[in-house]
Amino acid sequence: MRRKYERFSIFAAGLGPALGLIAILLMPLVARGQGGRMTVSVGPAGADIIGTDNVAIQKAVDRVAAAGGGTVVIKAGSYLLADSVRLASHIRLRGEGPEKTVLKKVPGARSKLKLDADYGEMIATVEDASGFAPGMGVTIVDKVSREGWTPSVRTIVSIEGNTLHLDRFLQMDYSVANHGEVFNTFPLVAGFNVEDVQVEDLSVDGSRTGSGILDGCQTGAIYFFHSRRMTIRNCVARNYPGDGISLQFVEEPVVENCEAEDNAYLGIHLGTGALRGIVRNCRAHDNGQDGFFLCWRVQNARYERNQSWNNGRDGISLGHKDTDNIFIGNSSSGNGRAGIYFRDEVAANAANRNAFEENTLEDNGRPGEPGYGIRIEGETRDLKFVSNTIRSHRVSGVVVQPVGIYIGPKADFIVVERNLFLGDVQKAMIDESQGGHNQLAEPRGR
């Protein structure tokens, strides 16, 4: 027995160095966490990367991306962003809760152009460069090229005198005569050409004061472009000089349990070919224009149990080729014009084949500007409104939403059935359609 024990001891002792080597080799895999995917934390203290700005967060993202994917944990704290945090594929960016992890844009900086900034140049010369710094995200515009895809969103590489050197060439001409200017508006968290990405449990604050305002085509507090399978969950996007959440040219996006508030333009904006999206349990309120905006070619999406209130224009807006979408259990109240609005489009481009079930539309409109539960413009066709509740109240003696459903003269094939019209709705339905194919059941609940 002793001889066997001695042989075992010698064998185990011989394995010692080998086991140590194996442990060293396995350490990176252990650091990566479950499934071999790395986790890196960033924060003011007690983190893998110490820092409270976009540079620190970007280091963590780049480290995880180099390992093939994983999780970046942004610990509780306030982080100041001078440029975008740019995500990579297979990254999960996670805070410790929207009230604990807050990413905030640096204060606004802007200046007029001193010289014309031409297409293909990588510089912009401004009247006053004192508010800018290397590494800062900026946008170059003029009054002609200020919307859609015409602004140039860039990063300052260096500054010489009043000349800003940029990371990429300008995509348009911007002239002094057309009031060209530069300001530091940029996406706070952004994904370009990425897939399988998650952004969770954090807030982004756009510091609107002093910042130039842009629409959501190229920016947003949280922004994705030409990407697939991204999820934004339990995030707050507020106070941004543009859209709260903007997703352009995307497939299978999920926006869940998010809040978009007090943004200059739109709350949550799926647009430009967004396919098969899911937007659920989200809240969009007090934004300058629409709460939920479907832009060009938003198709086969599902909007479920969302709330939209007190936005400057419409609660839910559909238009150019926004087809085959389903809206179930949403509420839209107190918005400036309509709870649901269909924009004026020709037949080939209209928001056709959309269905609305069990939604609540209440008190949309403003004193002196009567509103609508639903307003259908353009040559829009094949819409279904089933089992929705449309309710109006008197506010200081005035009914701000006197019309339940308005169907414009060029709309047709509209189905309205089993809807409730409650309160002080003065006209449940106004049908000016000239097509003759609508199926409008008698109003219920009046």
Q: Which residues of the chain have pLDDT under 50?
A: 1-35
Which residue has tokens 């200081």? Answer: 396
Q: How far apart are CA 65 and CA 59, in angstroms?
A: 10
Residues facing residue 38 across a β-bridge: 70
Q: Are both 147 and 209 inside the same structural domain?
A: no
Q: What is the C-alpha to C-alpha distance for residues 112 and 241, in angstroms, rounded to an integer?
A: 18
Rounded to whole angstroms, how far apart are CA atoms 21 and 278? 48
Count of alpha carbons within 13 Å of 385, Cβ hemisphere only?
A: 29
The DSSP element (H or E) to which 5 belongs, if any, is helix 2-32
What's the pLDDT tens digit per position in 316-368?
999 999 999 999 999 999 999 999 999 999 999 999 999 999 999 999 999 88
Q: How many domains does the chain have?
A: 2
Neighbours of 63 (CB within 10 A): 16
CA 99/CA 87 separation, integer angstroms: 22
Closest alpha carbon to 57 in 101, 109, 107, 108: 101
Looking from the CA of 57 toward its CB, the CA atoms found within 13 Å total 31
Question: What stretch of H or E contains 28?
Answer: helix 2-32
Is 12 among the domain residues? no
- Tell whether 157 and 231 lie within a shared domain: no
Do 289 and 370 lie in one domain? The reply is yes
Q: Residue 285: CB partners within 8 Å, gap ≥ 6? A: 259, 260, 261, 267, 291, 307, 308, 309, 310, 311
* Inside any domain, residue 401: yes
Q: Are residues 150 and 298 in the same domain?
A: no
Give domain status of residue 445, yes or no: no
Tell me, yes or no, whether 147 lies in a domain. yes
Q: What sign has the CA pseudo-torsion 235, 238, 241, 245?
A: positive
The answer on 233 and 141 residing in a single domain is no
Spatial contact of 266 and 243, defined as CB atoms under 8 Å apart: yes
pLDDT in tens, 204-253: 999 998 899 999 999 999 999 999 999 999 999 999 999 999 999 999 99
Last residue of a domain, one of 126, 154, 183: 183
Q: Which of 148, 183, 218 corresponds to the end of one domain? A: 183
Q: What is the pLDDT of residue 8?
A: 31
Same domain, 194 and 129: no
Residues 248 and 393 placed together within one structural domain of the fold: yes
**Tokens for 390?**
């449309």
Q: Are residues 152 and 191 both part of a single domain?
A: no
Terminal Cα distance for the chain, rounded: 96
Q: Residue 156: what residue type? A: I
Query: What proportion of the chain, given as a percentage, has pLDDT over 70?
Result: 92
Q: What is the DSSP string of 241-302?
A: SS-SEEEEEEES-EEES-EEES-SS-SEEEESS-BS-EEES-EEES-SS-SEEE-TT-BS-E
pLDDT at residue 367 in the model: 85
Place of tokens 């859209």: 243
What CATH number did the domain enclosing 302 receive? 2.160.20.10
Q: Domain span at residue 213?
A: 185-440
CA pair distance 338, 374, nearest whole angstrom? 6
| CA neighbours closer than 13 Å in the CB half-sphere of residue 172 | 19
Q: What is the pLDDT of residue 11?
A: 31
Output the DSSP codes for 160-212.
ETTEEEESS--SS-B-TTTT-EEE----SEEEES-EEEEEEEEEEE---TTPP
Does 22 reside within a domain?
Answer: no
Residue 194 and residue 71: Cα distance in Å, rounded? Answer: 15
Q: Do 326 and 369 belong to one domain?
A: yes
> Is the domain of 271 the same as that of 133?
no
201 and 176, same structural domain? no
**What is the helix, strand, coil percentage profile of the chain, to 5?**
10, 45, 45
Strand partners, 374: 340, 405
Query: Do 353 and 316 share a domain, yes or no?
Result: yes
- State which of 136, 164, 183 marks the end of a domain: 183
Strand partners, 117: 174
